[in-house]
Structure 1
Amino acid sequence: MAENVCFLDCMKYAKDCLGIEFELKDKQIETLRSVYEGNDTLAVLPTGFGKSIIFQLLPFMFQRKFGRRQPMITIIVTPLNSIMQDQVQSLTKRGIPACFLNIEGTGVKTFVDGKRYQKSFQDEDSDTDIEEVVISSAPLQDVKKGNFCLIYAHPETLVDKKDFGKVLRSTVFQERVCAIVVDEVHMISEWGKEFRNSFDKLGNLTCLFPDVPHLALTATATKSDIARLSEVLQYRDTQFVIANPDRPNIYLEIRSRLPNIRKFEKFDNILAEIVSELSDKLDRYPVTIAYCNNLEAIGYAYVYTEQKLGPRAYIPQEGVPENRIFGSFTSVPQPP
């Protein structure tokens, strides 16, 4: 019972530090508890579940657990700059010291107070909007000193760059790193062998930090994937947290169009119901993706919808592309 109270107290402290007032989901708490207890953990949680909140709480949860004066350090391995930038921006807006590294491990980016940063570039009477935070470079020395409690990095930075390897082996990092997190861990299966083989070497981090818990997160993993990922990461006595992927707010339906003869007439029958409801509800119509299997069908669906909706296709102002309530997208290059 005492241990349970201690965990709940540490979790509450971490939530307060991040300004989180809502209740965490059961699987978020289960994942946090597993990591808190020192377990290597692999969590499969649906998209939009709130996976990032879990690892953002860790520096403060372990600060409380071990009675440290300052937050501990969590290193997050993630494959995309856009993910790093978005999360660091969100954290710094809340006053959390976070940063992301370039792939060489030599450059550091964070966000700073926009008003303070831009003050010297504007007149006092200027009415130009100033962003709340703006991206800025930070000295690598700040990372080495442990001034950031959440550090985002590419796998190449952490397993291939010898200079940054020295940082990871430094006394500061060996004493203050409380967890290593691999976000979007399914990328090991997708990219590990052929495209970005550093993903396949992330088990080195488990060996480099043998005394801290390791956490891997994904929304996409089969049973065979899970077993392989745990092996590649060299996790020990892995604890698995798996949430039901069912999303009751998402509905899938497949409709087939009869081929060849009067094909567009048959296509109209499929589109008419969708467009009629869209015309009635407009911006109250639920977000919908209609997948067509060829460019001809996509083009026809777009023109059909445009003709049926007319000026009602724009909210609030007709003729402004950004205000259109429908659009077409394709990954196939259009012919010249």
Structure 2
Amino acid sequence: MTSRGTMDALVAAEETLGLSLKEKQKEAVLAVLDGKDVFCALPTGYGKSIIYRILPTAFDYLLGREPGHSIVVCISPLNSLMIDQERNFKSKGIAVECIGEIQKDQGVIKRVISGNVPLVLITPESITTNPLFRGMLLSQKFKEGMVTLVVDEAHCIKTWGDNFRRSFSDLGQLRSSLPKIPVLAVTATATHGTYDVVTKRLAMEDVVIIGLSPCRDNIFLSVKCVTLADFVENIAESVRLNNVNHPKTLVFCRTYTDCNLVYDMFEEKLGSCITFPPGYPNSRKYRIIDLYTQANVDQVKKEILSEFIKENSLIRVITATTAFGMGIDCPDIANVYHWGSPHSMEEYVQEIGRAGRNQMPSYATLIYKKGRSTIDSKMEEYGSNTNKCRRHLLYSTFMFHQESSLESQCKCCDICALTCKCMLCM
């Protein structure tokens, strides 16, 4: 039973910050305020970040503290995600700072370490291997003020923790330093296997599980087998025709090499139409199509992100690695393409979740290449399938799965569309 104190604290925090939380957001906040470890799996676009955005203020009310005294530390997997969230939160009046390798302002670092910033965003590498930030958690200010440890995009603990980024696997060590601090793990995608790995590695106990199916009915699913030239030409034809009115499009590639190949093909196919107005110098100032990878310097990433999220953005197509994927707040992306399959269904659902966050009809298209040895069996089945509903194949292994409620099969996937008998298709 939720105590009256936690409910009052939540209501007061909502009023202070001008927020009105959805049902599952409230459940998660109340559980954390009750001191519980919480595993939260909510679809892309639902608003997972609001949960930890409101926590410092809610704890201030719950514990009777002056505003700004409660501290939430959020571990985030990508610098690009932290940059975007910091910009978004600050625009809404939230006191937040990023620290780690991307933070060069010593004044900001000093304020954070002194416990004067209620919401702190940091990468797993910085919190586990940098003595300055690891020691920060042991300081008297943090022992008194810290109220929650958040792990955003928690599925990365399973996806990346074994080999690619071992610091994700080391996050559980923080529990020994913070034995009484509740842990909130949030993600958009979680199979039962992911839940088991995440809760074990974070040493979570008596976990409260909160979630919804990751299935997004407004995204039409399809798979195609085409050459690079044909794939790019299909998009380039629309760009030439519509230029700055071309629907916002993301093209995910598995490697830097593939990203450059796809981008170079766009340059070849579009010629002078790669800029707007056509024929202007091929510089970022005029470019309709851009390239986003970890190889970009941080300032370039900021410029691309800040432009692309604008409703009237000049950039209409971004070719990207997964560096662009998680948590980016751009609601009006209409098309997500994958040039090659991700390793797993979880990765694919994460990445297609960039589409249609404004609830408008959107499209997720996998350009499938047979014979890739780096994808798991479920992803291979999804790509090679020719007779089963793609939506069912994609989402049936996830926690909280429910079958789609779409009335017309033609809105589901390319397989179901073949047999649709709705009024539009007959």
Same fold (TM over 0.5): yes
Cα distance per residue 1:214-236 (max 9 Å; x no partner): 10111232111111110010001
How many angstroms does 1:89 deviate by? 2.8
Structure 1 letter corresponding to 2:34: E
Partner of 2:64: 67
Partner of 1:9: 8
Of 67, 75, 78, 1:77 maps to: 75
How do 1:14-163 residues align onto structure 2 when only pairs under 5 Å count? Answer: 14-20=13-19, 23-71=20-68, 72-103=70-101, 136-138=105-107, 140-163=109-132
Partner of 2:190: 221
Of 222, 236, 240, 2:209 maps to: 240
In 2, distance between residues paired with 1:219 and 1:77? 16
* Structure number with bigger Rg: 1
Change (3 A) 1:319 1:14: farther
How many angstroms does 1:206 deviate by? 2.0
Secondary structure (helix, strand or coil) at the match of 2:150 reads strand
Of 140, 159, 178, 1:190 maps to: 159
Q: Is the 8 A contact 1:15 1:57 kept in 2?
A: yes
Structure 2 letter corresponding to 1:92: K
In 2, distance between residues paired with 1:108 and 1:287? 30
Change (3 A) 1:330 1:108: closer
Structure 2 letter corresponding to 1:243: L
Partner of 1:201: 170
Cα distance per residue 1:88-137 (max 9 Å; x no partner): 2333344433212124xxx856xxxxxxxxxxxxxxxxxxxxxxxxxx54
How do 1:168-187 residues align onto structure 2 when only pairs under 5 Å count? Answer: 168-187=137-156
Secondary structure (helix, strand or coil) at the match of 1:138 reads helix
Structure 1 letter corresponding to 2:46: F
> Structure 2 stretches of 5 or more lacking a match?
281-285, 290-314, 322-338, 340-426
Partner of 1:124: none
Q: Is the 8 A contact 1:302 1:327 kept in 2?
A: no
Q: Is the 8 A contact 1:74 1:177 kept in 2?
A: yes
TM-score normalized by the length of structure 1: 0.69
Q: Is the 8 A contact 2:253 2:319 kept in 1?
A: no
In 1, distance between residues paired with 2:45 and 2:187? 11
Change (3 A) 1:223 1:141: same
Partner of 1:120: none
Task: Among all aligned residue pairs of Structure 1 and Structure 2, give the percentage whose two residues are the same amino acid.
Answer: 30
What is the RMSD computed on CA atoms of the aligned residues?
4.0
> Structure 1 stretches of 5 or more lacking a match?
110-135
TM-score normalized by the length of structure 2: 0.56
How many residue pairs end up in the alignment? Answer: 287
How many angstroms does 1:170 deviate by? 1.6
Cα distance per residue 1:201-252 (max 9 Å; x no partner): 1112222212121101112321111111100100011111121111122111
